[in-house]
């Protein structure tokens, strides 16, 4: 069998995980953390060579005819990645007739696994987080808009309908003085029809103008956002008011607190990735809260594996460090293969359950 590389260094997502779950063993999974030249801890070249050699040795112990070609394919893949310049964390996959590498920033330690299935459990949370969304830097002095895709961001020009600052918003429309009050004019005010007064002082007046500004931003961004999720970054007080004002329905529950006016692209990308991860965790927590109310559920690794293999599982909840690791990973892989939604949690156990639980379709 000729050694070929099928996929090289694409950012891993949930669709990729589901495709990887379809491969039968022997399956080799090699995880390599991110590396920057000069950071210490040995060179990326040395790590790659050591890990691929370890994988080749484990394949050799299987005494199967396809393992020689797999070892050659894995070495070819490692050579394609080893440019000497470092880079993000990656995971290499090798099965009979298939090799691939994906960017996996969540990988923190070197790891080699050879088994009947790929070792996908540690990658679920990173692959499941939202991979494409917009980031809005909310500030009275400078609105900034970014697009996030697969861990990277680019700053976008604001649409013409979006005022770049509170000061500039005055040139768009007059604010709605919804909190202003009026009193009927008495005899002493001559021909005036009413007397305007501020109900709660200058602070409320400023809030009116700020709500007007945020409303203009919200309406002006609607066409650009086009239904994609939106992640907010800015001072907490401003974000709270923006949420009260905005009508856009797809805003992340998670947000980043701090002045976003002068952030670098790397800083925005880091905070956006963390926000997307929190969003996934929040979704998982919401789903787990409903689990005790489910009638058809099981919490036994072997039982979940059997039901997943048969396509009877709708949702799987799993602790990322749960034991037995092999059985739990197998249940997760089979669930991904048969279309189950998988939610992972840090630690060794789920709150109120063991290491794994599943909701059955039937």
Q: Note the pLDDT of residue 25.
A: 85
Topology (CATH) of 290-362 = 60s Ribosomal Protein L30; Chain: A; (3.30.1330)
What angle is formed at CA 196 by the lines to CA 190 and CA 200, rounded to 5 degrees? 145
**What pLDDT, on a 0 to 100 scale, did the predictor assign at position 194?**
36
The pLDDT score that the predictor gives to residue 188 is 37
Contact 337, 343 (CB under 8 A): no
- Measured between alpha carbons, how far apart are the two ends of the chain, in Å? 42
Among 121-125, 178-182, 250-254, 306-310, where is mean pLDDT lowest? Answer: 178-182
Q: How many residues does the chain have?
A: 362
Count of beta carbons in the 10 Å neighbourhood of residue 144? 20
Mean pLDDT taken over the chain: 85
Domain 1-119, architecture per CATH = 2-Layer Sandwich (3.30)
Going from the C-alpha of 172 to that of each of 159, 166, 209, 223, 247, the distances in angstroms are 13, 11, 12, 18, 19
**Cα separation of 144 and 25, whole Å?**
48
CA-CA-CA-CA torsion for 9, 15, 17, 19, nearest 10 degrees? -100
Whether 84 and 35 have beta carbons less than 8 Å apart is answered as no
User: Average pLDDT, stretch 233-238?
Assistant: 96
Does position 272 have pLDDT exceeding 70, yes or no?
A: yes
* pLDDT tens digits for range 313-357: 999 999 999 999 999 999 999 999 999 999 999 999 998 889 999
Domain boundaries, the chain: 1-119, 132-286, 290-362
- What global pTM score does this model have? 0.79
Reported as a pLDDT band with limits 50, 70 and 90, residue 32 is: confident
Cα(42)–Cα(35) distance, integer angstroms: 9
- pLDDT (tens digit, 9 = 90+) per residue, 157-180? 999 999 999 999 876 755 454 444
pLDDT at 213: 96
- What is the dotted CATH code of the domain comprising 132-286? 3.30.420
């Amino acid at each position: 069998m000729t050694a070929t590389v099928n996929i090289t260094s694409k950012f891993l997502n949930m669709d990729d995980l589901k495709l990887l779950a379809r491969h039968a063993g022997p399956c080799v999974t090699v995880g390599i953390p991110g590396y920057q030249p000069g950071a210490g801890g040995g060179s990326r070249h040395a790590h790659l060579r050591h890990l691929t050699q370890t994988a080749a040795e484990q394949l050799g112990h299987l005494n199967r005819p396809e393992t020689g070609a797999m070892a050659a394919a894995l070495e070819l893949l490692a050579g394609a990645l080893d440019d000497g310049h470092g880079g993000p964390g990656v995971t290499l996959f090798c099965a009979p007739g298939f090799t691939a590498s994906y960017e996996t920033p969540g990988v923190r330690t070197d790891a080699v696994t050879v088994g009947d299935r790929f070792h996908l459990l540690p990658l679920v949370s990173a692959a499941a987080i939202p991979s494409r969304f917009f980031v809005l830097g909310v500030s009275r002095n400078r609105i900034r808009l970014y697009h996030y895709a697969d861990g990277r961001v680019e700053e976008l020009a604001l649409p013409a309908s979006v005022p770049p600052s509170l000061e500039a918003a005055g040139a768009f429309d007059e604010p709605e003085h919804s909190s202003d009050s009026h009193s009927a004019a008495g005899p002493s005010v001559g021909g005036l029809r009413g007397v305007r007064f501020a109900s709660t002082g200058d602070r409320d007046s400023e809030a009116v103008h700020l709500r007007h500004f945020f409303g203009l931003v919200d309406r002006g961004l609607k066409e650009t956002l086009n239904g994609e999720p939106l992640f907010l970054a800015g001072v907490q007080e401003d974000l709270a008011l923006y949420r009260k004002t905005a009508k856009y329905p797809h805003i992340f529950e998670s947000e980043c607190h701090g002045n976003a006016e002068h952030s670098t692209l790397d800083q925005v990308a880091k905070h956006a990735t963390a926000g997307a991860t929190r969003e996934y965790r929040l979704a998982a927590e919401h789903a787990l809260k409903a689990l005790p109310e489910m009638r058809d559920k099981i919490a036994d690794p072997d039982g979940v594996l059997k039901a997943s293999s048969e396509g009877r599982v709708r949702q799987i909840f799993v602790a990322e460090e749960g034991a037995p690791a092999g059985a739990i990973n197998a249940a997760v892989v089979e669930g991904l293969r048969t279309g189950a939604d998988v939610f992972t949690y840090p630690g060794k156990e789920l709150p109120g359950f063991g290491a794994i639980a599943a909701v059955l379709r039937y």
